[in-house]
Structure 1
Amino acid sequence: MRSRNGLWRVAELPTTRAGVERAFSYFTAGVRLGTVAQMVPAVQLGAARAPHESGYLACWGAAALAAVAVSVVTLVRRRPPGTVVSVLDFGLACALLVLGPLVLAPWDRFGTWTAFQPGYALSVIITAGGVRGLAVWAASLLAVSLSYVVYLGGDVGSEMTSTAVGNVLTYVVYALVARMFFGYTRRIARDADASRARAAELARREEERRAQVMMHNGVAVMRLLTEQGDDVSRARLVGQAEFELRRMRSYLRGTDARGTDARGGDSRGGDAGGGDAYASDGDGPPAGLVPVVKRVCDRFADLNVVASLDLGTGLRIPAAQAEALERALGSLLLNVRVHARAHEVVVHLDGTREEGWTLTVHDDGVGFDPATVTAGIGLREVVVGELRRRGLAVGIVSAAGEGTTVTVRSRPEPGAGPPGPERPTVRAAFADVP
């Protein structure tokens, strides 16, 4: 029942090229059948007054049959007539106009539907506006106009000259308007399809980026689990692996990864590192900044992390920023574990509600040469990309033999761009975990 009724719900047709062509088929059928409806009441009178009744009825029947046939075929094919059908349609319209003087009395050629030929020709012109070939359309319009001149013949009084000229101009104007209507509507549909395709591609890329962000840290931990040689090293990574496993499962299931209370503890009684306290889309109440940072630092206690967080006590940040910051800080410390060979990592937090806050992560590891190292997914997306998307400023500075410093600020100075050296050093800030 729904599909049957939906056939006529033009307003519910999709705004795609296929939907537009289907709407054109309704338009074409409506114009052609509407013309037949106007022809029917006058057929009896026209046949009675025609000099050749049988010839008049034959012409009328050919026009009505063609109109109905075109309408049915158009509705079945769900698109307006193609080039071949339109050429045949124009040919019939021209033939009916040329035969008009033979089957109509001179006084019946204007102002009445007993002379159906001009009206039928107009319906063909309007519905053929969707013909793809410009040359075919223009030649057919010219042929109809010349046939109409033949239709007028020499028996029409001079007082009807203005009406005849007006009818020819009507053909031309309606043909141009119909073609503009078909062409512009098709262009809108093409643009709509292109926009949808672009939106789908952007959504795919965004989902790919989200997958990289959500999976990156977990993949890094799993790599470490397979490479660490002794049981002590592996046991140290189990808690982090469980944490990242819950996060990845939540992402794959499309559900929230809530597992900690407002104080940062794991409400499910899992590892001391706690679960992901935030929804996968960043929804939720503000989170305490210190618990977020401390929770990550606790998971990397083996790195000799010195966390100086007292100056940030009481600060709260939106859930989306907290989720991004926790993931980014975890990715940074993973990179330190894999690449830096650092003896100590200092995490310092400072700030106020009024002035904003600054989080600095510095390791005394080997550092790197910014000219030779390119950022990978972890630094580019998990750290810089995600934090900047959440409205946080990120600066990364490193030098060979001097360690690496990462600075996250809650509020960049108004009107100020990133520091001069930030862009090149961000690109080469860390040798990323593959």
Structure 2
Amino acid sequence: MRLYAARNRFGALPTTTAGVERAFTIFITGVRLGTVAQMVPTLYPGMQSSPRPGLYLTTWLAATFAALAVSVASLVKGRPLGAGYVLADFALASVVMLVGPLVVGPEDRVGTWVGFQPGYALSVIITAIGPRSPVVLAVGLLCVTGSYVVHVSGATLPGPGFSTAIGNGLTFVVYALVCRMFSTYMRRIARDADASRAVAAELARREEERRAQVLMHNGVAVMRILSEPNLPDATRIRLLEHAEVELQRMRDYLSRQSSPGTTAQPAGRPDPHQTQGDATSLADAVRLTCTRFRDLPIELALDLGIGIKMTPTQTEVVTRALDSLLLNVREHAKAEMVVVHLDAEPDGSWILTVNDNGSGFDSTSANHGIGLREVVVGELERAGYSVAVTSQVGDGTTVTITYAAQAVPRPPAKRARVAS
């Protein structure tokens, strides 16, 4: 059970810079404790065969204590030890090997764990991944390699023993380079991951600000119209009904923000949890939206789009844009006629057109404002629809929303086309 829990804790390490450093500490601890585990069985035979048992025990205890200290200190700090500790570790490994010829017989210095000194030095090389500077590793490797030459200089090397000594020396160099490359690469991956998460978080923050801005637009427009002193009572009643709808939308938005773990579905994209039975009629949704604007001279032409079905999420995007368009007409256009036309194609594509004969605007210099720029153009394009706005001063405005069947929603390559 404890091993299972430890495995889970390791698997739960975050893929961040701190998580990688924590993983390095586990790696260091495993290597150093594994080396001690190999040294333990040879302690008694090593003391029996050593010409200086007391000194042999002293060096063995020093190496063991250093391995345990490095493991504990790394785990406590949560990252590999720094350059000063690593240099001290290399120094101890070098001293232990320099003392080796005094405490280990010539026949045991190569190829046995009675002569534990080269094996201990190799564990120090493998775990010297804390310092970022290559100078520390180069200095430590040079000291250890020179000490190893002294350690085997008086050893008995018949036949295979000589090749083993050469192989051990090359192993020091190869393992040092491989571990250095591995640790550097893992740290770079972690830094890139942290940077990517930071960019994603900033984009999410900006998107959330945009969504809040879009959501507040219609409500602010309704309140601004309600504040007019000479507003007819019938219009005021209808506006209050509209304000209640916008208030409910704001409540839904705030409840999603306050719910832990809630992820908002991107606007206009099919929700994987929605079933076909949840589909709604776009024509009915458009008709219901227009009923909140009874004070406007709206003419509905929806018969050609009766069969269009959409998920509630997709319908919400379209009706929110239609809301904003009709609010703009109510507030700015002074139109005598507003035509809302829906047309469907056999392949499932459709076109929704909102045309008014109001005051219009100069498309070459007009600032569309948050209504057209974000609620209509921006949000619809982000949801995969095409939007065209055509207007001329004194000749009204036409907004055309087009949905192409089988089109994959994607971020728009450019903003909506505005023609004069």
TM-score w.r.t. the length of structure 1 is: 0.83
1:331 is matched with: 324
Q: Deviations over 1:374-405 (max 9, x none)?
A: 33322222112232333322111112222111
Matched, 1:197 2:198: yes
2:84 is matched with: 84
Matched, 1:69 2:62: no
2:186 is matched with: 185
2:262 is matched with: none
1:216 is matched with: 217
The amino acid across from 1:137 in the alignment is L
Higher mean displacement: 158-167 or 320-329: 158-167
Distance in structure 1 (CA, Å) of the matches to 2:386 and 2:372:
14
Structure 2: unaligned runs, 5 residues or longer: 258-269, 409-413
- Matching residue within 239, 248, 251 for 1:249: 251
Distance in structure 2 (CA, Å) of the matches to 1:364 and 1:186:
63
The amino acid across from 1:63 in the alignment is A
| Residues 384 and 407 in structure 2, CA contact (< 8 A), matched pair in contact too | no
| Residues 51 and 103 in structure 2, CA contact (< 8 A), matched pair in contact too | yes
Higher mean displacement: 210-219 or 323-332: 210-219
Instruction: Give the SS at the match of 1:377.
Output: helix
1:111 is matched with: 111
Matched, 1:320 2:321: no
Higher mean displacement: 103-112 or 82-91: 103-112
Q: Deviations over 1:60-90 (max 9, x none)?
A: 1111111111111112222222211111000
Distance in structure 1 (CA, Å) of the matches to 2:89 and 2:360:
79
| Residues 348 and 360 in structure 1, CA contact (< 8 A), matched pair in contact too | yes
Q: How many residues align?
A: 398
Please show how residues 226-237 of structure 1 align to structure 2 within 5 Å: 226-230=227-231, 232=233, 233-237=235-239
The amino acid across from 1:311 in the alignment is L
Distance in structure 2 (CA, Å) of the matches to 1:172 and 1:191:
29
Higher mean displacement: 402-411 or 150-159: 150-159
The amino acid across from 1:251 in the alignment is Y
Q: Deviations over 1:335-391 (max 9, x none)?
A: 112222222212222234446322211111221112212333222221122323333
Please show how residues 21-420 of structure 1 align to structure 2 within 5 Å: 21-154=21-154, 156-157=156-157, 159=159, 160-230=161-231, 232=233, 233-254=235-256, 283=274, 285-354=278-347, 356-411=349-404
Distance in structure 2 (CA, Å) of the matches to 1:287 and 1:353:
18
Q: CA deviation at 1:164?
A: 1.8
Change in Cα spacing, 1:355 to 1:65, as seen in structure 2 (3 Å) is closer
Change in Cα spacing, 1:413 to 1:141, as seen in structure 2 (3 Å) is closer
| Residues 370 and 424 in structure 1, CA contact (< 8 A), matched pair in contact too | no
Change in Cα spacing, 1:107 to 1:282, as seen in structure 2 (3 Å) is closer
Distance in structure 2 (CA, Å) of the matches to 1:105 and 1:403:
102
Q: Deviations over 1:171-220 (max 9, x none)?
A: 01111121122222222222332333333333323332322232221121
Q: How large is the Cα RMSD of the aligned pairs? A: 2.9
Aligned identity (percent) is: 54
Change in Cα spacing, 1:40 to 1:280, as seen in structure 2 (3 Å) is closer
The amino acid across from 2:237 in the alignment is A
Change in Cα spacing, 1:56 to 1:27, as seen in structure 2 (3 Å) is same
TM-score w.r.t. the length of structure 2 is: 0.86
Change in Cα spacing, 1:229 to 1:84, as seen in structure 2 (3 Å) is farther
Higher mean displacement: 378-387 or 170-179: 378-387
Q: CA deviation at 1:319?
A: 2.6
Q: Deviations over 1:268-322 (max 9, x none)?
A: xxxxxxxxxxx99995722222222212222112121122223333333333332
Higher mean displacement: 315-324 or 175-184: 315-324
Change in Cα spacing, 1:306 to 1:63, as seen in structure 2 (3 Å) is same
Change in Cα spacing, 1:413 to 1:72, as seen in structure 2 (3 Å) is closer
The amino acid across from 2:214 in the alignment is V
Distance in structure 2 (CA, Å) of the matches to 1:251 and 1:405:
30
Distance in structure 1 (CA, Å) of the matches to 2:225 and 2:359:
20
Distance in structure 2 (CA, Å) of the matches to 1:103 and 1:117:
11
The amino acid across from 1:288 in the alignment is S
Distance in structure 2 (CA, Å) of the matches to 1:423 and 1:328:
14
Q: CA deviation at 1:221?
A: 0.8
Distance in structure 2 (CA, Å) of the matches to 1:12 and 1:371:
56
Distance in structure 1 (CA, Å) of the matches to 2:376 and 2:286:
14
Instruction: Give the SS at the match of 1:371.
Output: coil
| Residues 282 and 321 in structure 1, CA contact (< 8 A), matched pair in contact too | no
Distance in structure 2 (CA, Å) of the matches to 1:6 and 1:414:
48
